[in-house]
Amino acid sequence: MAAKESSRTMKAARSAGRIGVVASVAMNLAWLAMYIRQRYGEITTVEASRGKPPVTQDSVVILDHGDPVMYEEFWRREGDSASILIPAWQTMSYFSNLGGICCFLEPGLEREVRRLHRLVGNAVVDGYHVIVGTGSTQLFQAVLYAISPASDGTPIDVVSPAPYYSCYPVAASFLNSGLYRWGGDANTFAGDDTSCVEVVCSPNNPDGGIRHAVVKSKSSKAIYDFAYYWPQYTPITEAAAHDVMLFTFSKCSGHAGTRLGWALVKDTEVAKKMTKFMELTTIGVSKDSQLRAAKILGAICNGYEQLPSAGQTRSHLFHFARDKMAARWTRLRAAVAASDIFTLPDELSEYCGFFKKTITANPAFAWLRCKKDGIEDLESFLRENKIVTRGGTKFGVDGRVVRVSMVDTDQAFNVFLDRLSTMK
- If one asks whether residue 44 binds its own copies (CB under 8 A), the answer comes out as yes
- Of 222, 209, 234, 290, the closest CA to residue 120 belongs to 234
Give the nearer residue to its own copies in terms of CB position, either 174 or 351: 174
Contact 109, 117 (CB under 8 A): no
Residue 324 or 400 with smaller CB distance to its own copies: 324
Q: Which of 114, 221, 251, 259 binds its own copies (CB under 8 A)?
A: 259
Q: In one letter, which amino acid is 214?
A: V
**If binding is defined by CB under 8 A, does position 373 make contact with its own copies?**
no
Taking the least distance from each CB to its own copies, the nearer of 37 and 371 is 37
Counting contacts by CB under 8 A, is residue 191 touching its own copies? no
- Residue 12 makes contact with its own copies by CB under 8 A: yes
Position among 59, 119, 124, 177 found at the interface with its own copies (CB under 8 A)? 177
* Binding status of residue 33 toward its own copies by CB under 8 A: no
Q: Which stretch binds its own copies (CB under 8 A): 80-88, 210-218, 345-353, 367-375?
A: 80-88
Q: Which is nearer to its own copies, 5 or 340 (CB)?
A: 5
Query: Distance (Å, rounded) from C-alpha 373 to C-alpha 340?
Result: 11
- Which of these ranges, 15-23, 238-246, 330-338, 379-387, lies near its own copies under the rule CB under 8 A? 15-23
Question: Is residue 76 classed as helix, strand or coil in its secondary structure?
Answer: helix
Please check whether residue 61 is in contact with residue 415, taking contact to mean a CB–CB distance below 8 angstroms: yes
Q: Does 295 bind its own copies (CB under 8 A)?
A: yes
Q: Which residue lies nearer to its own copies by CB, 92 or 190?
A: 92
Given 54, 56, 107, 191, the residue binding its own copies (CB under 8 A): 107
Is 24 a binding residue for its own copies by CB under 8 A? The answer is: yes
6 makes contact with its own copies (CB under 8 A): yes
SS3 of residue 331 by DSSP: helix
Question: In angstroms, rounded to a whole number, what is the distance separating the alpha carbons of residues 409 and 415?
Answer: 10
* Exposed / middle / buried, residue 402 (Cβ in 10 Å: 0-12, 13-18, 19+): buried
Q: Residue from 59, 81, 343, 411 that binds its own copies (CB under 8 A)?
A: 81
Among residues 113, 129, 131, 134, the one that binds its own copies under rule CB under 8 A: 134
What are all long-range contacts of 269-272, with beta carbons under 8 Å and residues at least 24 apart? 270/143, 270/146, 270/147, 270/243, 270/244, 271/101, 271/102, 271/129, 271/131, 272/101
